[in-house]
Amino acid sequence: MVRDLDYYLGLDYSIRVRCLTKDEGEGWYVEIPLLPGCVAEGETVDDAMENIVAAKKKWIESNIKLGRFIPEPLTKDFSGQLRVRMPKSLHSELAQMAKEENVSLNQFAVYLLARAIEKKEWK
């Protein structure tokens, strides 16, 4: 398979969008996290999305020309299952907390993981 500009433009890259504050000049900021430095802005979301498409094309063209590695988005489907080994004491404490909340240990673990991602507590 030839990995040319058309190939990369056809891949489904995730795009992150956020509203700019007054201090940042307002409008919208978009980026493709998998392509470092591939960012764009616009007065409206539509403008920003249009600009990121152009920025993505330029980013890929430049990296092809320079012979640089171009990351590709994951295409593997995830099962939604994750096996985690943990100390018995942590397992016991989580099970007790789940029981107190009247939910399964699985539901409680998903809840805690979702909260951690939302708050970015790992950073």
Query: 47 with 29: CB under 8 angstroms?
Result: no
Mean pLDDT of 27-47: 95
* Cα–Cα dist 37/71, whole Å: 13
Is the pLDDT at 95 greater than 80? The verdict is yes
Cα angle 105-107-111, degrees, rounded to a multiple of 5:
115
Query: pLDDT grade, residue 120 (50/70/90)?
Result: low
Query: pLDDT grade, residue 99 (50/70/90)?
Result: very high
Q: Each residue of 41-93: pLDDT tens digit?
A: 999 999 999 999 999 999 999 999 999 999 999 876 777 788 889 999 999 99
Q: What is the pTM of this model?
A: 0.60
CATH class belonging to 5-65 = alpha beta
Domain boundaries, the chain: 5-65, 77-123
Is the pLDDT at 123 greater than 80? The verdict is no
Query: 56 with 9: CB under 8 angstroms?
Result: yes
SS3 6: helix
* Cα–Cα dist 3/33, whole Å: 20
